[in-house]
Structure 1
Amino acid sequence: MSNVLTPTSALPIVFSSGFESGNGELVSLSKTACGCDRVEVRMTADPWSATDGHALQWFYFRLSHVRGRPVEVALVNAHEATFAKAWEEYKVAASYGGEDWFRVEDTQYRDGVLVWRLVPSRDCVSFAFFAPYSSARRAQLLADVLATAD
């Protein structure tokens, strides 16, 4: 069995945020001078915010067809975030399956843009502000609690 990654570069990168708690709009896809795939994304305001309905901090989206491809993702409106200073020491959360999450060490906030780089080891990778807590996970927790209650 080989540890060599086989790039899926013959297929175009697919961006998606149309799922539970997904947030992000694709701005552009391009190649950098070094040959990385650059994905530019914008966060959208959270209409369900407990404050004024315009909180801007959460992002959660998925990229497909990226295994073995150097990817550079830029959150182009990070400077507009409700708590923009939070990006200064921040590392993006990433997951290959939605269960286990890790931090992307190569994350930088510069000139109002949050940029991270990764060579994904799987075909699909999700990125988020932090690991999301899905309604299915909540339902399972409640079921577990009820099953142990006397």
Structure 2
Amino acid sequence: MTLRISSNFDSGAIEVLSVERPDDIRLRLRADQGVAGDGAFRQWFHFRLHGAAGQGVRMVFENAADAAYPDGWPDYRCVASYDRRHWFRISSTRYENGQLIVEHTPERNSVYYAYFEPYSHERHLDLLGRVEMS
């Protein structure tokens, strides 16, 4: 199955450099929209990987050293979810030589990865609906 990465959804953010092999996925943190140059803020990522069930993937964020807070990478653990409701930490996340490296073997063909558990607009609307009903 062909590997694909998408981020065209609420809070999606990543630049894909290469996704040809599961053991050599190359990514870049995308700068927040509306800020360019030296003031650009990079830290957040959120994307979906499709087609890697049962395969060991190695994702390298090549520009992690350029993040807004690179001192936050040591001891950091990426989060992942198969359903966008239940999130878990990827223990094999490490920061070395200015790169964030995440290694994981997805159990399913579709898995979401993020900097931390996203609070989507959809989830916000669910909360508003519950408040209105109470």
Flag structure 2 segments of 5+ consecutive residues without an equivalent. Answer: none
**Alpha-carbon distance in 2 for matches of 1:25, 1:115:** 15
Runs of 4 or more consecutive aligned structure 1 residues displaced over 2 Å after TM superposition: none
Please state how far the C-alpha of 1:30 moved relative to its aligned partner: 4.5
Partner of 1:12 in structure 2? Answer: 2
Please state how far the C-alpha of 1:60 moved relative to its aligned partner: 0.5
**Alpha-carbon distance in 1 for matches of 2:34, 2:114:** 18
**Alpha-carbon distance in 2 for matches of 1:139, 1:131:** 17
Partner of 1:76 in structure 2? Answer: 62
Flag structure 1 segments of 5+ consecutive residues without an equivalent. Answer: 1-10
SS at match of 1:61: strand
Partner of 1:65 in structure 2? Answer: 51
SS at match of 1:73: strand
Please state how far the C-alpha of 1:118 moved relative to its aligned partner: 0.7
Gap change, CA 1:138 and 1:75, over 3 Å in 2: same
Please state how far the C-alpha of 1:68 moved relative to its aligned partner: 0.3
Bigger Rg, structure 1 or 2: 1
Q: Percent identity?
A: 36
In the superposition, the TM-score normalised over structure 1's length comes to 0.83
Paired residue type of 2:8: G
For the 8 Å contact 1:45–1:53, the answer to whether it is kept is no
In the superposition, the TM-score normalised over structure 2's length comes to 0.92
SS at match of 2:19: strand
For the 8 Å contact 2:5–2:19, the answer to whether it is kept is no
Per-residue CA deviation, residues 64-105 of structure 1 (Å, 9 max, x unaligned), is 011001100111110000000100110001011111000000
For the 8 Å contact 2:3–2:49, the answer to whether it is kept is yes
Partner of 1:21 in structure 2? Answer: 11
